Structure 1
Amino acid sequence: MVNTLTPSQAAGLGAARAPIPWRAYARLAKLDIYDYYLSVPLLAALAGPTGWAAPGRTSVVLLLVLLGQVTLTAALVTFDDVTGYRDGSDAANYGPDAPARRLARKPLVTGALTDGQAVRFGWLALAACAVSWAGALALAPHRPAWAVLGVVLWFALGFQYSWWLKLSYHGLQEVFIAALGWFFVLPFHGLLTGQAGGLAIVQTLLFGLGPLLFGVYSNINDIPGDRSVGRPTVAVLTSPRGNALFVAAVSALETVLIAGAAVSGLAPWWFLPAMAPVIGLRVRQFVLGIGRGDILRARLLGVRIHRLAVALLVAVDLLLDLGAAA
């Protein structure tokens, strides 16, 4: 039987913990989850000599990009929590028997923040993103139309995961998770360099697949909650075998991108051995999560694989820059 919190229980729990407001808002914004923000060091390395022709300007643009990413993501997860609070799914998934640290991540459920406070915070975060990215566009050394359009488009859509359009409720959850990473890289790379080369596109795709490849394991664990609120993830819509095939296909796509870039000449031949640890760990993740059913450990491994992949991509880009300068 699923445990839920009554309003009085939630209020009592919030009063008992009574975190100071900034902590409640930090938890609401999920500031401890930084995996998407790793796009900034990737952008810095991927920019190369062209993007760093004016170091001070590029540094300011990257800082504004980061501020916009943090605030847009804060708006996204805030509105997602508001939706989960209103439809009761968070109360069901984070009942009174949940571990205290896990439950504290839902300040609306615990009563630490009110619905109105959360909604106001979400809009303020989105406004801060608008200011930050407008500044990045104004100061960017290049403004190709496709890059500007990408920034504007993602500002308009990036908070609508489960708000307004509710994209994740219309079969786009997995696409959205990957697209968040894609739009955090390629448009801003265009602002820094004025172009989008083949290797930059490959790295953009790989970056977005990273969060997706720990998100799909979370979705297996979230099937009851997602089904109860009508969120049609692949895990909800398919059988366990069908979902396993989907996870395998996404994992294989990452390998194909890495190998294909090396074979086609978009990346140097050593790109494949450099990224080989990611491929090997991806196999281990699949065996752990799908083969053995240890979903939470597979998800955690996916987070670590993503961070490793970004570190390796940054190293590849820096080595390429050194080679070009030699």
Structure 2
Amino acid sequence: MSQQTAVRGPGVSGHGTLAAYARLAKLDIYDYYLGLAVVWALLAPAARWQPQTFGLLALTLVAQVVVVAAMVGFDDVTGYRDGSDAANYGSDAARRRLARKPLVAGTLTEAQALRFSWTAAAAGSALWAAVVAAAPHRPMWAVVLAAACVAASVQYSWGLKISYRGFQELFLIGLGIGWTLVPYALLTGGTTGFVLVQAVLFGSGPMLFGLYSNTNDAEGDRAAGRITVATLVSARAHRLFVAAMTVAQIALIAGATATGFAPWWFAMVMLPLVAMRLAHLLIGFRGDILRARRIAIHAHRVTVGLLVVAALVSGATP
């Protein structure tokens, strides 16, 4: 019996539904797209309300969604083939929502997922080219960074399989940073120290909640040959690594305020985030990894709100 036949439930047809493709694209996970709200808030007040600004941000949003759809589609195919998704989701379907893995759940075939992923990869690349072509500014570093983000996303678990080669954590933070800096630079022609601080704070959010996923998935990832910090070190060492990354984010907030890269009041605005970070760290240390992950996801979304407030206030402050 093939692996695909083994996981397909009775009565499941071979025809994918729109809902199954939406689950394959992980449309319910929108955290990387929230960076565009931060970009909008960081713009000069006069530029925020220009129709061209909204048009470029909307086109960028579509490009990001389509590229992520390709990335997670290929990731699901790879996880299905090597058995890591069945190992990581099958034993805890109630909490991990097995339906979000349509190949393992049997609601899509591997061929359907591959066609979807390749189509999304081509469309996403074309959309990002359109974003660059439509932008009022095209600094070379931003164009190169945009291309690197697209290429790395498509090869996250496919091609070079960078998430299997020990670069997953770096990718998770890097994509968030890139997808904040690139649209800002395309709209303004450059960047600033405060924008860079906000980009790193935004990008570190998906990395931090990804670390809890890696903690939970360490055994299945290790069996599949996926290299993450969680698969290379002991559980205690990985907890310390998560703590170090959490403290690093808090230190960035304090350091940016102390050195003048951020306004003097920035650290105070970010205090709710600091509280949430310490809360999920404590819960994770006590062993409830999936609850800590949920709080970390909410903390990232709170981060976006706080960064938007800080950007708007900073722009209004003489």
TM range (shorter): over 0.9
| Residue 241 (structure 1) shift | 2.4
Alignment of 1:63 onto 2:58: yes
Say if 2:16 and 2:108, in contact at 8 Å, map to a contact too: no
* 1:76 aligns with one of 71, 74, 88: 71
Measure the CA separation in 2 of the matches of 1:257 and 1:93.
33
- CA deviation after TM superposition for structure 1 residue 156, in Å: 1.6
1:87 corresponding residue in structure 2: 82
Q: Which residue of 1 aligns with 2:122?
A: 127
1:10 aligns with 2:4: no
What's the CA shift string for 1:163-200, capped at 9, x where partnerless?
00000111111111111211111111110111110000
- Measured against aligned partners, the alpha-carbon deviations of 1:188-227 in whole angstroms (never above 9, x if no partner) come to 1110111110000001100111011111111111011110
Aligned counterpart in structure 1 of residue 252 of structure 2, from 250, 254, 257: 257
Q: Using the TM superposition, name which of 216-225 and 100-109 deviates more.
A: 100-109
- Counterpart of 1:219 in structure 2 is 214
What are structure 1's unaligned runs of at least 5 residues?
none
Partners of 1:286 and 1:50 in 2: how far apart? 40
Cα distance change on mapping 1:13 and 1:46 into 2, 3 Å: farther
**Deviation of the 1:273 alpha carbon:** 0.4
- Distance change (3 Å), C-alpha of 1:101 and 1:253: closer
| C-alpha displacement of 1:29 | 0.3
The yes-or-no answer on 1:203 pairing with 2:198 is yes
Give the distance between the partners of 1:209 and 1:174, measured in 2 at CA: 9
Distance 1:97 1:39, change over 3 A: closer
Q: Which residue of 2 aligns with 1:320?
A: 314
Partner Cα distance (1:14, 1:295) in 2: 34
2:23 corresponds, among 2, 27, 37, to 27
CA distance, structure 2, for counterparts of residue 101 and residue 238 of structure 1: 24
Structure 1 SS opposite 2:132: helix
TM-score of the superposed pair, with normalisation by structure 2 = 0.94
Contact 1:50/1:193 (<8 A) preserved = no
Select 1:275's aligned residue among 255, 270, 277. Answer: 270
Partner residue in 2 for 1:142: 137
Give the Cα–Cα distance (whole angstroms) in 2 for the partners of residues 29 and 310 of structure 1. 22
- 1:41: Cα distance to partner? 0.8
Measure the CA separation in 2 of the matches of 1:266 and 1:91. Answer: 46
CA distance in 1, matches of 2:12, 2:52: 47
Name the residue aligned to 2:159.
164
> Is residue 187 of structure 1 aligned with residue 182 of structure 2?
yes
| Structure-1-length-normalised TM-score | 0.92
**RMSD of aligned C-alpha atoms?**
2.1
Q: Secondary structure at the match of 1:279?
A: helix
Query: Which of the numbers 23, 41, 46 marks the counterpart of 1:45?
Result: 41
Contact 1:199 1:266 in 2 (8 A): yes
Structure 2 contact 70–154 (Cα < 8 Å) conserved = yes
Instruction: Find the residue that maps to 2:137 and give its secondary structure.
Output: coil
Cα gap change, 1:14/1:65 in structure 2, threshold over 3 Å: closer, same or farther? farther
Out of 219, 241, 246, which is 2:241 matched to?
246
Aligned to 1:154: 149
- Amino acid corresponding to residue 201 of structure 2 in structure 1: L
Q: Does 1:102 align with 2:97?
A: yes
Q: What is the number of residues matched between the two proteins?
A: 318
Is the 2:142–2:185 Cα contact (8 Å) retained in structure 1?
yes
Distance 1:244 1:314 in 2: 30
Aligned-residue identity in percent? 51
